[in-house]
Structure 1
Amino acid sequence: MNKGNLKRIFYLARTTLPYLKPAKVRNLLLCELEIRRRTVQQASMPYVSLVDVTDVCNLRCPYCPTGRNQDSGRPVRVIPLDIMRRFLDEMAPHLVSINLFNWGEPFIHPHIAEIVSMCHQRNLCVTISSNLSVAFTKRILATCEAGLDYLIVSLSGIRQETYARYHKGGHLDRVIANTKAIVEWRKRLGRSRPFIEWKYLLFKHNTGEVQACEALADGLGVDIFRVKTGGGPEEVCVGDDQDPAASNCPELWRMAVLSADGGIPGCCYLYWKHDDFGEMWERTVAQVRGGERFVQGRRLFNPEESSLLPPNLDHPCLKCYRVHNQPHLKRFLTENSRAKEGHRTGAPYPYPKRENGP
């Protein structure tokens, strides 16, 4: 484990611990026990959440479905505040932390500061991941003021031409300026939060700029510099972001995911509308999580219950490599023509485009 990842663990623990109340700890422990036992009918509730506050992005990163302008079947939108409130009213008593990002750029949401405040008032540890190449410095600082705990900044180079090769349409000078503004804001008010992490996406074309970028981060006052293998075609990648040792899918128990349109996917990797497990507009999160798609998803990972799966099961989890790593499913996967492993976003080729653009 490298230095950046060790520091990240330390800062995440430091960020999260104040939010661990007795009732939430009990739910967390029960949830982890159910993950270990691969319990199909879950009694606990997720203690981590990921909410995609907007499915719109200002960049065109080539290996991101949003950056490719790939049509997910969802309307392009920002999450309505009433849906956000309904979600928090139900889930906040169980959640320890909430991540306000997934497929879009969070600072595009005009009410992102209000959403962070809603989460903070409900005693949740709040994280945002951003490209930070946005012309919304006042909005960013207002979001920090609202109670943002942890900010992840995605970048991929120390020179503009290197950075823009992946972060297409982005401006590195804007990322640096916004980082400076946050650090100066913290110093001026004597605050330590939000903790700032620069996440360097590593590809074959930018391996030579890692040290210089880390030095820049240190000079700016960034708390953590972390290198993460970027995803994409084999010819541009330096490694595989899949964990070959993964033998279970904790997300089906541990994480509550909400899309900007109110859809509830089974995990953060599911991009397509037709892969949603349910809708916030129609049912509660608890009802969706007790529904057939979640039960069948967990059943895939439970050797004692997998025999109850229909032989022709059509399920979003069937394209995930974690399912295809299950020894007890070998025959089932071979005989089910729908069980074809693919990218976890289910991206087809060629990628369909949105008709009207983002």
Structure 2
Amino acid sequence: MPEIRQIETTSVCNLRCVFCPYDEMTRAKHHMDVESFRNFLGRRELEHVDEIALHHFGEPFLQANFHEFVRTATNLGIGTVVSSNMTRLSEAMVERVLGAGLSRLIVSIDAAKPETYSKLRVRGRLEDVESNLRMLLRKKMEMGSSIFIQTQFIVTPENHSEVETFESRWLAEPGVDQVVIRHERTHAGQVVRHSQYQNREELRQPCRYLWESVVIMQDGTVVPCCKDFDAKAPLGNAFEQDLGEIWNGDVVQSMRRSHIDSNYGAFSLCANCSEWRGEPAFPADEAEERVRGFARLKSSFRDEPRHMRVWE
């Protein structure tokens, strides 16, 4: 069975970030129905999963009952992680989410100056994000929550001069558990502004995602990787089918075979993708041996260093 990389509790977002393809999405922009989520988890197909991410292409905290998704997973012994822009957050919502047992929060900030933030994360204000984050950190201490809080900075040509300021600011903040610096990504070659991969020539290899994980969209549609923002490669529907049926179905098997045969253009999602370059080597002969499934051993995020520069 696959790792569930992400379950998209909403595809609605309030920002228009320059490195995000949100405006190019043609699929519906809605919140996931919490009962559908409960029914899916209740089928006990995720007993092998320790943690699920409750986000994809949307802002989770726009959903008033987001804490119910967290609590549903917590009650089944499944940890939860969410990535948020932190622009829309009230004390009441923070209390509900922390009380529901959210395990990990990734705060996407990407700037140290308000003017830079406004250019990158259009419709947002850095002052609101920092105020909301500090309010959450205070609530974390008051409630004795064990939530792991990570601040994240995606490096772009617009903000690269602010990396060190960002690092020093949030490493000094009590309650912030980790500061991570990442490169801008291309969403499987679909959004190419700037990329560290554009001028690199490497022998392409099969993508690990096809043997490792899936993403579930807000309507239950299952896609093979987190770069498929518009569901261009639907594998099935998790609300209507068994996950095992989808994981070993004709579509995903065909995608795996195309990668083993180095026919990467067989599926449009994979044709121009460069995301595989950020993954450990996964050569075709190893893929052939594991065509029925692949499980990657992962260390706990709590064992990771407090400060990470991920130059993928």
1:79: Cα distance to partner?
0.7
Tell me: CA distance 1:278–1:230, structure 2 relative to 1, closer, same or farther (3 Å).
same
1:313: Cα distance to partner?
4.9
Work out the percentage of aligned pairs sharing the same amino acid: 24
How high is the TM-score relative to the length of structure 2?
A: 0.78
1:316: Cα distance to partner?
4.0
**Partner residue in 1 for 2:95:** 141
Structure 1 stretch displaced more, 138-147 or 94-103 = 138-147
**Partner residue in 2 for 1:302:** 260
Alpha-carbon separation, structure 2, partners of 1:63 and 1:283:
33
Alpha-carbon separation, structure 2, partners of 1:312 and 1:202:
29
Tell me: CA distance 1:135–1:292, structure 2 relative to 1, closer, same or farther (3 Å).
same
CA contact (8 A) 1:87 1:285 kept: no
1:319: Cα distance to partner?
4.5
Aligned residue among 206, 209, 229 for 1:248: 206
Structure 2 portions without partners, runs of 5+: 285-312
**Partner residue in 2 for 1:346:** none
1:294: Cα distance to partner?
0.8
Alpha-carbon separation, structure 1, partners of 2:225 and 2:7:
11
CA contact (8 A) 2:61 2:89 kept: no
Structure 1 stretch displaced more, 242-251 or 266-275 = 242-251
Aligned residue among 178, 202, 212 for 2:155: 202
Alpha-carbon separation, structure 2, partners of 1:167 and 1:104:
13
Aligned residue among 28, 38, 53 for 1:75: 28
Tell me: CA distance 1:87–1:244, structure 2 relative to 1, closer, same or farther (3 Å).
farther
Question: After the TM superposition, which residues 121-200 of structure 1 pair with which residues of structure 2 at under 5 Å, given as runs?
Answer: 121-191=75-145, 193-200=146-153
Tell me: CA distance 1:282–1:229, structure 2 relative to 1, closer, same or farther (3 Å).
same
Tell me: CA distance 1:199–1:240, structure 2 relative to 1, closer, same or farther (3 Å).
farther
Q: Which AA in structure 1 matches 2:258?
A: L
Specify the SS of the correspondent of 2:112: coil
Q: Deviations over 1:148-180 (max 9, x none)?
A: 111101112111101111111111111111211
Higher CA-based Rg: 1
Question: After the TM superposition, which residues 1-358 of structure 1 pair with which residues of structure 2 at under 5 Å, given as runs?
Answer: 45-66=1-22, 69-72=23-26, 74-90=27-43, 91-191=45-145, 193-221=146-174, 222-231=176-185, 237=194, 239-240=196-197, 247-302=205-260, 313=266, 316-321=269-274
Alpha-carbon separation, structure 1, partners of 2:181 and 2:194:
13
Q: Which AA in structure 2 matches 1:87?
A: F
Runs of 4+ in 1 over 3 A off after TM superposition: 231-234, 240-246, 311-328
Q: Deviations over 1:330-358 (max 9, x none)?
A: xxxxxxxxxxxxxxxxxxxxxxxxxxxxx
More helix as a share of residues: 1
Tell me: CA distance 1:314–1:190, structure 2 relative to 1, closer, same or farther (3 Å).
closer
1:127: Cα distance to partner?
0.6
CA contact (8 A) 1:49 1:255 kept: yes
CA contact (8 A) 2:12 2:30 kept: yes
Q: Which AA in structure 2 matches 1:47?
A: E
Tell me: CA distance 1:139–1:243, structure 2 relative to 1, closer, same or farther (3 Å).
farther
Alpha-carbon separation, structure 1, partners of 2:35 and 2:56:
20
Q: Which AA in structure 1 matches 2:158?
A: H
**Partner residue in 1 for 2:307:** none
Q: Deviations over 1:190-224 (max 9, x none)?
A: 33x21111111111221221222222213332111
CA contact (8 A) 1:297 1:317 kept: no
Count of residues in correspondence between the two structures = 275
Alpha-carbon separation, structure 1, partners of 2:18 and 2:265:
35
Tell me: CA distance 1:120–1:273, structure 2 relative to 1, closer, same or farther (3 Å).
same
Q: Which AA in structure 2 matches 1:203?
A: T
1:262: Cα distance to partner?
1.4
Structure 1 portions without partners, runs of 5+: 1-44, 329-358
